[in-house]
Amino acid sequence: MRRHKVVTLTADDKTTRDVVVKEVSVRMVLDAFASDDGPAAGMAGLARECCGLDQDELLALYGSDLALLWEAFREVNGFFFDLAPKLGLDGLAAGLGRNFARICGEESASLLRQATREP
C-alpha cells in the first residue's frame, strides 16, 4: 500500500490547502535522476507525482511550508532514507536536496536545510 501524509498549508489570508504527500517508488526516484532533461527536471516531475504541486506552485511556497512538505516526504519515504546508506548510497538524500534546490531556488532551499537539520 502506498503511504501518504496530509500536510495542511495556511496562506496569508488564513485559507488552508491540504497537500497529500505520497510515497515514491524506486522507479520514480531512478527516473528522476536519469531524466533526459536533467535531474532538476526529473525532480520537478517527482514533486508533481508525490505531492501534486508543479514548479510554480513550489516556488510560491514559503520556506516553512517547504520544510513541512520535506518532513512529510522524509516520513513517508523513510525506507529510501534508511536503506540508502546501507547500500553505499549515502548521497541519496543530499542529491534529492540539491535537485530540490534547483527547482525551488537556493534561498528557499537554504531555509529548508536549516529547518530540517538533524540534531
Tens of pLDDT, residue by residue over 9-34, are 998 888 999 999 999 888 887 787 78
Sequence-distant (6+) residues with CB within 8 A of 10 are 16
pLDDT in tens, 28-64: 877 877 878 876 677 778 888 889 988 788 888 888 8
How far apart CA 106 and CA 56 sit, in angstroms, is 15
- Of the candidates 39, 49, 24, which has an alpha carbon nearest to the alpha carbon of residue 94? 39
What pTM value is reported for the model? 0.71
